Amino acid sequence: MLSEKMQQALNDQINAELSSYYTYLSMSAYFTDQDLNGFAHWVRIHANEEMMHAMKLYDFVHSRRGRVLLQPIPGPTTHWGSSLDAFESALRYEQYVTGLINKLVDLAISESDHATNSFLKWFVDEQVEEESSVDLVIRDLRRVGDFGPGLFLLDRELAGRTPADTTNEAGSP
């Protein structure tokens, strides 16, 4: 069984992951509007991963006989100054989410909730990957600067992103 406090914290994290999904989907729409379809594709795959994160938590709460209580999702940002601005804001957001995961781990440890602590290890590792993948695009964008052909080629490259294998990750009820 989950404690009331842990259940609330996991519900809050479900909300944060759904907010991430909404934010990345909004960013994908922004890139489509900018005719950067490779960027839009990359970010949309990222959005789908956020939904998978939310569902992983959702299933975990149920598997511990807890109650999932969905909360309102805040309206996402809809405009960014540039591609670089969009990805820099994504990195700041991922760093914020990493902080939330760390706090969840702290809570699990303080409650000696070993099952939740073990479950959260996947998220700790995932955040390293999330920050790194966004940071790599930022570095490419900084290299490219205002050079149009460079942006064109980067857009082509990002169009090649394939979805992560989520077998055994999102889970089903």
**Residues at the interface with ligand OFO (CB under 6 A):** 17, 20, 50, 53, 94, 97, 130
Cβ proximity to ligand OFO: between 100 and 153 the closer is 100
* Closest of 73, 125, 74 to residue 98, by C-alpha: 125
What is the spatial distance between Cα 124 and Cα 136, in angstroms, rounded to a whole number? Answer: 19
CA 48 to chain centre: 9
DSSP structural state of residue 77: P
Least distance (Å) from ligand OFO to the CB of residue 78? 18
Cβ proximity to ligand OFO: between 99 and 157 the closer is 99
Cβ proximity to ligand OFO: between 48 and 83 the closer is 48
Cβ proximity to ligand OFO: between 88 and 151 the closer is 88
Six-digit token string for 27: 């960013």
Least distance (Å) from ligand OFO to the CB of residue 95? 10
Q: Which residues contact 129 (CB under 8 A, 6 or more apart)?
A: none
Least distance (Å) from ligand OFO to the CB of residue 36? 21
